[in-house]
Each structure stands twice: as C-alpha cells, then as structure tokens.
Amino acid sequence: ESGKKNISLIVVGHVDAGKSTLMGRLLYDIGELSEKEKTANERGSKKIGKGSFAFAWGLDALGDERDRGVTIDIATTHFTTPHRNYTLLDAPGHRDFIPAMISGAAQADVALMVVDGSPGEFEAGFERGGQTREHAWLVRSLGVKEIIVGINKMDLVSWSQDRYEEIVEALKPFLLSAGFASAKTTFMPLAAMEGINILENDVEELKEWYNGPTLISALDKVEVPPRPYESPLRIPVSNVFKGQTAIASGVAVSGRLCSGVVQVGDRLRAVPGDEVATVRTIEVDEDSSPYAVSGQNVTLYLSGIDSINLSIGTILCPTSLPVPLVSKFTTQILVFDLQSPIIIGTSVELFHHSVNLPATVSRLVNVLEKGQVTKKNPRVLQKGMTATIEITLRSTSNNNARIPIETSQQNKEMGRVLIRRNGETIAAGEYYLYLRSSIR
C-alpha cells in the first residue's frame, strides 16, 4: 500500500552469525517466500551444508539479478511490515563482503546486526579479526544512525538471560563509542533457524524474562530519516544494464536517490562526462511510477544515451546543477583500527558510493579533539584519532583521476568517503571545503 514509509535495510555481522538464515526465515514467515521456494531453498541449503532457510535470501536476490544479466553490485529484495516497505540491500556470499557492504550501507537507513550468542562465538566475532566491530563502524560512518542488534542462536544457550545480558553489556559501550545513540539502538534475543522472536516470541523460557520487541515490530518502528528533497537530484548509479521487463526496455540504471526528486521526462547529466539522458520510465519497487523522491531505490530507463557512457559510480544530476569533479580534497576523518600508522604518502583506496579509486594521502593537516585543533601538521595518525587530511587521486590508465563529490555541508551523502588499505578499512571521512576549525 502506497502510504507506507520506505526504508532501506542492510544486514551485517560476523560470518556464520546467521544473517542468511535470519533473512530467509523472515521472508518465509511474513509470506514473501512460497512453499515451493521454501522446499527448493531447503534442498539448496542442504547441498551447501547449511540449515534450512540459509539459502533463501541469497538465492532469491541473486536469481533476480542473474535473470537480468546485470553486473551485480547490490542486489535488493523487498518485503513489507505493517507500516513500512522495506528494501533489503545486498546479498550474502560475497568473498570480500566489505566493498559490497560499503555501497549497500551508503544507501541504508537502518542496520540489522546479527551476532552469534553461542558460547565463544560472540567473543570470536567481537575480538580483533572478527567483523562485528568493523561492520558497526562502517555502517555508522556511512550515515546509518539506527541499529537493531539480534543476539542469535539463543536456542544453543538454553535461552539464558545471563548470556544475553553479558553480550548486551559488551556491545552497548562499543556501539555508543561507534556513534549509535542509545535511543537508536535496539537489542533482542533471536533464534533464526526456529523463527523465534521474528514474528512472535512463543518460547516459555524466553518469555519468562524477555518482553521486548520482536524483529518485525522493531523494524516496523524504525524512524524514517529526513529526506533532503530540496537539494539537487543525485543518483549514484549502482547497476547499468540493458533492461527488458514487463514495464520497459532499453538502457537502464539502478540506484538510490541521495537527494532530490526525479520525474519521467527529466533530462539528466551523467557525471563524469557531458552526456545527457532523458528519463523514459521510472520503476520503484518493481512498479512503474511517474516520479521518485530522495531515499527511494529506483530503476530508470533512459533514452538519448549509450550505455558506454554510464557505469557503476556515475552520478545522475540535473543538467543545470551537476555535481563537481575533484582530483584533490580535504576530508575530516576518524581513524579505525590500524596495522601501521597513516603518514604522508600512504597509498589508499578511496571509496565513494559504488566507486573505488587509488589515491594518496598528500597532506596531514591537523588533529582534532572535540572539534578543536590540538595539533597542526602531525607526522603520523594513529587509531582512534580525528584528523583533517588531504587526499589526492592517482591517475590510472582507465580513469582521469577525478571523482564526483560534494562537500558534506552541501550534501551529506555525497560528501562521505571511506579509506581502505590492503583490504582493511582504515578511516571514514567527510569532505569539507573549509576546514572545520576555520569555520567558527
């Protein structure tokens, strides 16, 4: 029903925490999977040595994309709760989950973090090397403000309240330090495989001490973040394909509106480049629509443009207000866990929406504490620091080392970047034209 609010969800957590099982089970319990799909999924799951439901989500999402023959960047699945329309971003099974997660999280409104509650397993996922911390940092740095934490496999700890509270007490201070306000953090016990506390909690041992929300009721209450309708349209492209559906055909792109509004007939500039395309058809949640607004995931069928002028990472903008291209910029960063410090000349990979480009840390401008500059021109940056640095893109054979990016003052979602090195995320940042300390 159209009055429902649209929300995008990303599911994160350490490998084997039960993410696919949980989402497969949720889709089944709310009737988004047929009995036939369920049987096929059970068979598929057995084949890959996983419990029932584990296969459902990945299979479902990938099947859809496979049929269209597209470059997979982010797969999406739709489901509805009584008051919300959900877009579930991404599919599991990526070998290196993080880059896919980065593009997914940049589009998400809320994160569902799944942790394994069974003995020793929560600890393994939370220590160094485990993915729990990095995922939480990542999603928060990419602008996700609300998090639901499912403490899964409660059946394996006999529904123990002590174990549940032990995990909640370990996670609470960490999530707070990662930037999730306690009012935006919800914890709940789950048993994904048996479907406990997804739609309802019908286990006596659990009912004795837990009367908080089920997963569905928590999802149904997620606040819809303010959507910047007034800002100029920005659609970072996450897929390009030759579309052929019941609704339309031709060159098609999908992505999420970071800001603004798009209507059928609009002429859009594809940045980088000078090409202009006309919007023929807009699909929102697989239905045709005359327009789409900030926050919605769309597929656009375009005319007047060749698909070679579009790629993952292209930003579609109004012809009159294109996003600028920059090769060098200053960014205020938060430094994550590091193997070795950041110094001038450090080679990094810069992630911005769905693109990643080689870059170099060309200046260390300052270190800040609580918004105040405490040191100018530092020589090294260490874990936990907030700092201003300058990033310079490096030219490669297939790009001219410029990135479509806006300052965070102009457009929050367009100003966010992530910095990785050797497959690890080392910092998250926001692009500021004027250094924060000089604004005051």
Which residues of the chain form contacts with ligand GDP (CB under 6 A)?
Answer: 13, 15-21, 50-51, 54, 92, 152-153, 155-156, 191-193
Please give the residue whose beta carbon sits closest to ligand GDP in the complex. Answer: 51
H runs (alpha helix) in 317-376: none
Instruction: Give, in degrees to the nearest 5, the angle at Cα 355 between 136 and 55.
Output: 55
CB of 226 to ligand GDP, least distance (A): 31
Beta carbon nearer to ligand GDP, 159 or 329: 159
Of the pair 15, 176, the CB lying nearest ligand GDP is at 15
The nearer residue to ligand GDP, 26 or 257, going by C-beta atoms, is: 26
Phi, psi of 40 (to 5 degrees): -60, -40
Both tokens assigned to 368: 């800040």
Helix/strand/coil (H, E, C) string of 63-103?
Answer: HHHHHHCCCCCCCEEEEEECCEEEEEECCCCCCCHHHHHHH
Helix (H) or strand (E) holding 416: strand 416-421
Rounded Cα distance between 390 and 344, Å, is 9
Give the nearest distance from C-beta 95 to ligand GDP in angstroms. 12
Output 72 or 248, the one with its CB closest to ligand GDP.
Answer: 72
For the bound state, the minimum distance from the C-beta of residue 272 to ligand GDP, rounded and expressed in Å, comes to 36
Q: Which of 30/156 has CB closer to ligand GDP?
A: 156
CB of 17 to ligand GDP, least distance (A): 4
Q: How far is the CB of 140 from ligand GDP (least distance, A)?
A: 20
Q: Least distance (Å) from ligand GDP to the CB of residue 5?
A: 27
Q: Give the nearer residue to ligand GDP in terms of CB position, either 97 or 431.
A: 97
Sign of the dihedral through C-alpha 353, 357, 363, 369? positive
**Single-letter amino acid code for the residue at 329:** F
The residue (of 56 and 178) whose beta carbon lies closer to ligand GDP is: 56
State CA 264 to chain mean position distance: 27
How far apart, in whole angstroms, are the C-alpha atoms of residue 427 and residue 440?
Answer: 25
* Cα–Cα dist 301/282, whole Å: 7
Task: Tell the smallest beta-carbon distance from residue 46 to ligand GDP (Å).
Answer: 11
Segment holding 138, helix H or strand E = helix 132-141
3-state secondary structure of 414: helix
Tally of CB atoms within 10 A around 415: 22
Taking the complex as a whole, the smallest distance from the CB of residue 23 to ligand GDP amounts, in Å, to: 8
H/E stretch holding 291 reads strand 291-293
Nearer to ligand GDP (CB atom), residue 74 or residue 284:
74
